[in-house]
Each structure stands twice: as structure tokens, then as C-alpha cells.
Amino acid sequence: GEDVEQSLFLSVREGDSSVINCTYTDSSSTYLYWYKQEPGAGLQLLTYIFSNMDMKQDQRLTVLLNKKDKHLSLRIADTQTGDSAIYFCAEKSGGYNKLIFGAGTRLAVHP
């Protein structure tokens, strides 16, 4: 079945780069997403990548996709304290835009 896995926790120093990793199992995934969730709030779409792309860059965010290994990563350059949040990886599956989420990676940014 479909499964998305992420590491649960990442701690980085302010100003450093953060890399959050994700693996998925559904080879027919068409889109892969990164969402950000701050405490007590809903999910904010950060970026997405189509399955025929290898890389997508959007300001401080870089998404890398290795379709052969079914591995997705999100790199945040110059990480700031405001980036502290939970980051969810998700894959689009099925005909109704159904998303399968990973467990989320809690990013802690310290001075």
C-alpha cells in the first residue's frame, strides 16, 4: 500500500541549511508536496514537485526528487527561527487528489 516516511526531528543552528528527508512507496505518485504546520494551525503549502522533475527551487527552498529511490528532500537555506515548525511530506495518489502524508518532521532552530 501507500506509505510515506520521514524522520521525526531535526535540530539546526540559525543560519545553517536544513535538509528534511522523505521516502515514499507509491511509484505512480504524480505530485509530491511539502507542507508546513505551525502550532495550532492548519497546513501551509510550501512547494510541490511533479514526478517528472528532479529539482525545484523557490527562494530559500530546494526540493530534490530521486524517483528511482523514491526519495524526496526539502532543503531550507539560511534557516531562521521562524522556520521552526512541523514539515509534512505528502504524495498525491488516486483520482481525487487524495494526499498521503508522512508523520511530519519537527524542525527546531536554535541560535
Partner 1 sequence: GAVVSQHPSRVICKSGTSVKIECRSLDFQATTMFWYRQFPKQSLMLMATSNEGSKATYEQGVEKDKFLINHASLTLSTLTVTSAHPEDSSFYICSAAGDSTYEQYFGPGTRLTVT
Q: How far apart are CA 45 and CA 38, in angstroms?
A: 12
Smallest gap from residue 12 Cβ to partner 1 (A): 20
Smallest gap from residue 15 Cβ to partner 1 (A): 27
Q: Does 92 bind partner 1 (CB under 8 A)?
A: yes
SS (H, E, C) 24-90: ECCCCCCEEEEEEECCCCCEEEEEEEECCCCEEEECCEEEEEECCCCEEEEEECCCCHHHCEEEEEE
Binding-site residue total for partner 1 (CB under 8 A)? 21
- Among 88, 91, 107, 109, which residue sits at the site for partner 1 (rule: CB under 8 A)? 88
Instruction: State the residues that interact with partner 1 by CB under 8 A.
Output: 30-31, 35, 40-45, 48, 88, 92, 96-104
